[in-house]
């Protein structure tokens, strides 16, 4: 069994690639290296290229005997998507459609797609379930929802089946501190907390402390990246076992505030996290966390790592790789 992993040189992609290989599957990674790192792939078979290159995708599928695909490749900066929507629609949506078309022609029928909880926008209630009405508040989120819908139509009109995984907040690094997120380019909270704690940046900006939450700061669902990787393996196993197409949340089911992150970082690392309170950002919900019961029921998957594990692995990675994989 061979798994094609698009975007497999990125943060989540590289850690998932390593775990998929450990299950005995052969892999081949396709990545433009625009935002990924060749060193993160290690000795896995690697092709530098774009998912929109249909001839390349078909050739990879034929040469490597591809049976299944995990599709990570996408632009994901929310702010940039609002400033340059055409870049996101062309790369994320059109690129994915071309990928699926090439896979269909190559006879590949199983796809696991990296989606986002961003499709929920500001939910009416939490924890949020998969049947909540999508309310995309960014072009990025809308592109992910459009790709989900594209896969849904492929599953209705062809033999292709899929699992769409709606991630909440991926965080942490590999347990051995060899793979992680590059804080120079990350939009995520925990790398910025680490940068402030280690003195590589000024005080952390906390966007709002007047939300209707226990401590006034925004509440999110932080899931360890290795737990997230294991959800992809569970999804691949589901499809390999003739499972039906499905869309699942991937989260812990627990809300963690910005101040919880700061306090836990100080406790785990022994480093003070300087911060300042600034105004809320437009569109930030007070709280958004998952109801993960569907993925647990369907795949038998549940997260095993704690917030302390997230902070400890992130600290170990960032303290030894201040320039990411270029360190």
Q: Show the domains of the chain with their CATH numbers.
A: 2-171+222-250 (3.40.50.720), 189-221+253-290+300-326 (3.90.25.10)
Query: 315 an active-site residue?
Result: no
Q: What is the average pLDDT value for the chain, to the nearest integer?
A: 96
Output b/e per residue, 65-93; b: 16+ Cβ within 10 A. Answer: ebbbbbbbbbbbbbebbeeeeeebbebbb
Contact residues for 288 (Cβ-Cβ < 8 A; gap 6+): 117, 120, 122, 123, 126, 128, 168, 219, 220, 221, 255
Q: Phi and psi dihedrals of 143, rounded to 5?
A: -65, -40
> HSE of 72 in the Cβ direction (CA atoms, 13 Å)?
26
- DSSP class of 283: T
Residue 327 has pLDDT above 80, yes or no: no
How many angstroms separate the first and last alpha carbons of the chain? 34
pLDDT of residue 270 exceeding 80, the answer is yes
> What are the tens digits of pLDDT across the range 58-108?
999 999 999 999 999 999 999 899 999 999 999 999 999 999 999 999 999
Question: How many angstroms separate the CA atoms of 14 and 168, rounded?
Answer: 18
- Please report the pLDDT score of residue 239 as a whole number: 98
**Pairwise CA distance, residues 222 & 225, whole Å:** 9
Task: Indicate if the pLDDT at residue 175 is higher than 80.
Answer: yes
pLDDT, average across residues 46-69: 98
Question: Which residue in the list 75, 88, 140, 167 is annotated as catalytic?
Answer: 140
Q: Is the pLDDT of residue 281 over 90?
A: no
């Amino acid at each position: 069994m061979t798994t094609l992993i698009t975007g497999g040189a990125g943060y989540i992609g590289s850690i998932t690639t390593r775990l998929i290989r450990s299950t005995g599957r052969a892999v081949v990674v396709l990545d433009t290296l625009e935002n990924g790192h060749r060193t993160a792939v290690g000795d896995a078979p690697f092709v530098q290229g774009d998912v929109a290159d249909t001839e390349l995708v078909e050739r990879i599928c034929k040469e490597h005997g591809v049976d299944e695909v995990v599709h990570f490749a996408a632009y994901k900066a929310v702010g940039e998507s609002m400033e340059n929507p055409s870049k996101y629609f062309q790369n994320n949506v059109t690129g994915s459609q071309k990928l699926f078309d090439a896979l269909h022609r190559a006879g590949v029928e199983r796809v696991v797609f990296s989606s986002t909880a961003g499709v929920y926008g500001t939910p009416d209630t939490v924890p949020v379930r998969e049947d909540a009405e999508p309310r995309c508040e960014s072009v990025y989120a809308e592109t992910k929802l459009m790709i989900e819908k594209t896969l849904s139509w492929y599953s209705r009109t062809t033999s292709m089946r899929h699992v769409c995984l709606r991630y909440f907040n991926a965080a942490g690094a590999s347990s051995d501190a060899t793979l992680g997120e590059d804080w120079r380019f990350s939009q995520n909270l925990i790398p910025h907390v680490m940068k402030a704690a280690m003195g590589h940046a000024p005080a952390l900006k906390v966007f709002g402390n007047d939300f209707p939450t226990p401590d006034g700061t925004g509440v999110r669902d932080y899931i360890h990246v290795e737990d997230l990787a294991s959800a992809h393996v569970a999804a691949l196993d589901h499809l390999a076992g003739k499972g039906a197409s499905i869309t699942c949340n991937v989260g812990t089911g627990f809300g963690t505030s910005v101040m919880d992150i700061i306090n836990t970082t100080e406790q785990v690392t022994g480093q003070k996290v300087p911060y300042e309170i600034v105004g809320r950002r437009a569109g930030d919900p007070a709280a958004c966390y998952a109801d993960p019961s569907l993925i647990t029921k369907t795949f038998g998957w549940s997260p095993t790592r704690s917030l302390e594990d997230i902070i400890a692995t992130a600290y170990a990675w960032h303290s030894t790789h201040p320039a990411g994989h270029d360190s």
